[in-house]
Amino acid sequence: MAYYNNRGAAYAGKGNNDRAIVDLNQALRLNSNFAEARNNLEELRKQGH
């Protein structure tokens, strides 16, 4: 889970938001209670992605 969250955050940091969303969703599929991944995904959505 952490792998997908960390890679998703790295993608988001580089502006590759589509790939970030895929990874963050995968982290949440593996653990729906993974707060850090949920927060990262929410930040992307706030930015309109």
Residue 23 is part of which domain span? 2-46
Q: What is the pLDDT of residue 1?
A: 87
Q: What is the mean pLDDT of residues 35-49?
A: 94
The string of pLDDT tens digits covering residues 6-32 is 999 999 999 999 999 999 999 999 999
Q: What is the pLDDT of residue 10?
A: 98
Neighbours of 31 (CB within 10 A): 14
- Residue 49 predicted with pLDDT over 80: no
Tally of domains within the chain: 1
Written as one letter, the residue type at 42 is E
Q: What is the pLDDT of residue 8?
A: 98
